[in-house]
Structure formats: C-alpha cells, structure tokens
Structure 1
Amino acid sequence: MTSLRFVERLRDLVDGVEVVLSDIWGVVHNGLESFPEACEALHTCRQRGATVILITNAPRPADSVQRQLRKLGVPDETYDAIVSSGDLTRSFVADHPGKKIFWIGPERDSSIHRGLDAVMAPLEQADYIICTGLFDDETESAEDYRAMLLQAREHKLPLVCANPDIVVERGDRLIYCAGAIAELYRELGGEAIFYGKPHRPIYERAMALAAERRGHLAPLDRVLAIGDSVRTDLTGAHGFGIDCLFLTRGIHSEEFEGIDQLDPASVKELFGHPPRALMRELRW
C-alpha cells in the first residue's frame, strides 16, 4: 500500500468519470448553509458530461430534501437527481400496507409517511418501528432511548432505520442521528433494518437513475463517490465496488488536523480500505 496524499481539486480526478454519487450533508452544506465551491464543482462536472446523483441518508423523500437544499442555497443545477434513505424507507412502508407503526423521530420528518397507508400506534400495539431520528437531537442521545428499546425488544419489533448515520454536522457541532438508536437496539438484541449508505440498495437506485439519464448503465470503474464518513460513504463505496473521494473537513476533521499525507499504517488504521484520494473540501 502506498502513502495516501491530499489533492487540491476535483478536476484532477474526474477524467473519464461518467457518474458522480455525492453525499450531501458535509459535502454541499453543513446543515445551516451551503458550500458554494462544492456546488460549483458538481455543477462543472455536469457541464463536462457527468451525471451527478446526490445520495443521502436523510430520512425524508427526495422532494423534501430538494426543498431543504433550496433553502440552504444549493442550486438545482448542482445535481441531476436525489436518492434518499427516506425514499427507500417509504418503499418498505408501502410494501407493508395496514401495518401499525411506532415512529421515533422529530415532526419535521413526517413526510416519511406522507400519502402512504401508514397507521401510527403506541409502541405496545405496533408491528414495527420506523426511526427517522431523535425526538430532540439538540439535547438527546441514543442512551435516552434505552428503556424504550428494551420494551421494543420484548415485543420483538423490527426497527427500520431511515438514516444510518450516527452523527452529522450542524454548523460547528455534531448531533446524533437515527443510526445511533438503531445501533443501540442491535446491541440490545433487537432486529434493525437499515436503509441508506453504506447498504447496497441506495447505490443501486442511484445507478438506475443515472442510467435513465445517460441511456446506459455506467461501468463501475467510471463512477466516483464523494463523502465525508468512513462508516457510510467510504464503506458503502467500497462495498459497491466504486472509487471514493474522501473529504476530511467533515465529521472526521479532528483526526486529520495538520495532516497533508498519510503513511500506509495510518491509512489502514483510519480507513481499512483506502479511498482513491483525500481532499479537505470539495472544489473544482
């Protein structure tokens, strides 16, 4: 294994790339504002002929994600399409009509069941759990849900996790996500079903959307993933068989502070499977 270096510009990596599968949170915005240089970089990729699909663990359908992007100042021309873990979770709900759902998550995620035959019920009456996040991610952690999850385990309820992220950035802070609750549930012996990165279905749907736009399915060696999470973006890209550009300014920023090159031992410790390249923040 050779040393892994930082690169300065996306343009040094995209020759021959047909499809870019880019993360959203931490790549094009931080939850409070957009990153103009990152948006321009993806737009330029599109102008040069690549198809840009945003893939996100947001627990909301793609149209809701787009509305949020617009509010944060991410232009529509940044990307061709969006695939969210919320879309995949909605497919699960649609495939189980009439089943009773206990929902864990904030009211802002209510679009997850919009227009579906979703019957909300108390935990003791539910057939399964949908977790889109914490009720109050400003003050809570997964530990606040331990008693609830123990009760769910006793009822043998599957928990469908609509956002496998453990944490994301909100401005300069890290906040807990649904993945933290789902992982605790697994530790307690409960059944957790994950939709989103790093799991294969979100990549398959993104590639299918890209193929619709291009008229053919792009070879995997002409696909580049972009993200800032080892656990979701890098692991997901490796599992799907595509290269990953890893951004270090996001949730792993403290681990990369002051580093401009990684030796082979550090690469293995930090990543397991190394990305194609490192970049601090996305720019053309």
Structure 2
Amino acid sequence: MTQIIDRFIDISANYDVAFVDLWGCIHDGIKAFPVAVKAMQDFRAKGGVVVLLTNSPRPRDSVADQIAGMGVPKDAYDTIATSGDSARSAMYQGAVGEKIWFMGESPRDDDFFKPLKILDNPVDIKKVPLKDAEGIICCGPFDPMADPEVNRPEFLLAKQMGLKLLCANPDIVVDRGVTREWCAGALAKLYTEMGGESLYFGKPHPPIYDLARRRLAALRKTSSDPRIICIGDGIITDILGAQQEDLDSLYITGGLAAIETKTKRDPDPEALSAYLEKEMISTTYAIGMLR
C-alpha cells in the first residue's frame, strides 16, 4: 500500500542516497522549484547523498550548466548521471555503427557528440543522410511539438534497411512550464511498434542505474550497500525503474500525472490507487511535489 507523505524529511532518515529525477521534480524545464531544492539541501545537510538521475540526452557537465541557469545550486546535489552519458558510451563503442542519421535539435543536442575520453579507440562517428546510414541516434524529435507520426516515412525506410535506433532519452513527454513536448522515447516507441529495433540507456532500463551506482561509488561517501530511494514523476521511467531495480520510490504525482491522480497539494488516495493499478506499477511513497 502506497503511503502518502507530507514532506521528504518525514522518511529521509531511512535512506543514505536519493536518486532524484530532474524535470518535473527539481525544475519545470524553465526554473527550479525552491521547495524541492531546499528538500535536497536539507537531506544532504543530514548526511544524505543526492544523485541527480536524469533522462537528459546531454553529458553531465552540460546538465550541470543548464540547471545552474535554472536556479539549482551545487549544494543541492552530489553528482549527476544522465541517459546521454550512458547512450554516448554505447555510441562510441559502435552500438549502431559509425555512419549515423541524427534525430534531434541542433545546436541544443550537439553536446551529445562531445568526445568521450574514458574510452580507448572510440568509434569515429559521422553524421550522414538516412539513405547512407548504418544506424540512428535519436536525442529527440526535430520539432518537439510535432506528432511522432510525422517520422513514419523515414522510419519505414530505416526499418527496411535494418537500422538500429539508439534512444538517448526514453521519456515519452515532458512539460516545459505548462507546455507538453514530445521526447525521444516517443520516437523510439513508434519505431519499435513498426518493427524496428530500439536500444535504450535511460530510465527505466538498467544501464543508467549502473552508471549512477558507479558515480555514487566514486564519491566514496557511503557504504558498499547504501539504502537508496528513487524520486521522480515518471511512472514508466522513474517508478518502474525503481521497481525493476528493487529500490524504494517516492512518486511525485503533481508532475506528468497530476490529472490522473487528482493532485492538488497531494494526490487523491483513490485516484492514485486506481492509476497505479491501471499502470500495474507500485511505489513505496507518494507526494504532490518534492518538498
């Protein structure tokens, strides 16, 4: 049975580490949520470790710069693990070949192709037209407001060519302020439904949790078996990922599923229960917004 809590501090003593989603939890795509920032600062002040676990297709240094501009201070977290870093590692190891067709917004997504110095002999990636490609790198749609179906003709050709699609961000949608936008996960979902093969590296898939644990270990701030809680507003990313990793979770219901859970300050218990049952996903705790 999910426990609806009032504040994170009510349960935080039970955990050493928080794997915290960014978009919808710490910021809205435009500005930080001050109460969420304060909750993470308070957790760290009591000895907790905060790993920002995000499906952003960007490298972690780019994410750090981005959230600083939104008002997220460095004392609100310890390290960052991004879907982009996990996917970049796979790309530079040749997961979808050397000649790739790139889907995304330039120059916003150009950081995805920064050199990855931790690899020996990385693949020399070249962007080419679809007809010449060996694989697809998808950081997101060309137009985040366009229905993913507009990509069906290109995806049909790609499927016939046997191309794999590397998805750098498994999120289906995000809310930028009050505007909902499509993400790379929606394109990968369509490609898979059409019979193509999509490779995922962000939540809820294992690679990003492996990356988060390695970055946590590098901090040398916890034991080898820390108590971890996952916090996020994505039911099929943050919460499903926690469930699959056998970790406790705190579901932020006032984000993507605010309507379904009838969240005002906090979720309606009956609506929350019905929504979780429909999604066939469980969460340890729930709260309207991180505070």
TM-score, L = length of structure 2: 0.91
CA contact (8 A) 2:135 2:165 kept: yes
User: Post-superposition shift, 1:51?
Assistant: 1.0
Alignment of 1:1-284 (within 5 A): 2=1, 4-96=2-94, 99-107=98-106, 108-115=108-115, 117-137=124-144, 139-214=145-220, 217-219=223-225, 222-257=227-262, 259-262=267-270, 266=274, 268-283=276-291
Shift of 1:115: 2.5
Is the 2:16–2:222 contact (alpha carbons within 8 Å) kept by the matching residues of 1? no
User: Partners of 1:266 and 1:70 in 2: how far apart?
Assistant: 37
Structure with bigger RCO (C-alpha 8 Å, 6+ apart): 1
CA positional deviation for 1:271: 4.4
SS in structure 1 of the partner of residue 136 of structure 2: strand
- What code does the residue aligned with 1:156 have? G
Q: Taking structure 1 as reference, are residues 271 and 47 closer, same or farther at Cα in structure 2, changes over 3 Å only?
A: farther
Whether contact under 8 Å (2:249, 2:283) holds in the other structure is yes
Q: Which residue of 1 aligns with 2:120?
A: none
Deviations 1:48-79 (A, max 9, x none): 11111001010110011111101111111110
What one-letter code is carried by the residue in structure 2 that aligns with 1:78? A
Change in Cα spacing, 1:131 to 1:264, as seen in structure 2 (3 Å) is closer
Deviates more, 1:225-234 or 1:86-95: 86-95
- 2: CA distance, partners of 1:79 / 1:268: 29
Cα displacement (A) at 1:266: 2.1
Q: Check the 8 A contact 2:260/2:275 in 1, yes or no.
A: no
C-alpha RMSD of the superposition: 1.8
Q: Secondary structure at the match of 1:256?
A: coil
Is the Cα contact below 8 Å between 2:139 and 2:169 reproduced in 1?
A: yes
Secondary structure of 1:253's counterpart equals coil
1:175 Cα offset (Å): 0.6
Cα displacement string for residues 81-104 of structure 1 (whole angstroms, at most 9, x for unaligned residues)? 001011011101221297111100
Write the distance in 2 (CA, Å) between the matches of 1:262 and 1:215: 39
Q: Which amino acid aligns with 1:282?
A: L
Same amino acid, percent of matched pairs:
38
AA aligned to 1:102 is: W
The CA deviation at 1:172 is 0.9
TM-score normalised over the length of structure 1: 0.93
Residues 271, 243 of structure 1: alpha-carbon distance in 2 compared, 3 angstrom cutoff:
farther
Distance 1:264 1:193 in 2: 31
3-state secondary structure, aligned to 1:66: helix
The whole-number CA distance in structure 2 between the counterparts of 1:34 and 1:125 is: 42
In 2: Cα distance, 1:50 partner to 1:270 partner? 33
In structure 2, the CA distance between the partners of 1:252 and 1:263, relative to structure 1 (3 Å rule), is closer
Structure 2 residues without counterparts, runs of 5 or longer: 117-123
* 1:32 counterpart SS class: coil
The 3 A distance-change label for structure 1 pair 143 and 264 is: closer
Matched residue count: 279
Distance 2:44 2:160 in 1: 50
Q: CA deviation at 1:141?
A: 1.8
**Alpha-carbon deviations, 1:133-165, whole Å to 9, x = none?**
01111x312111010100100110000000000
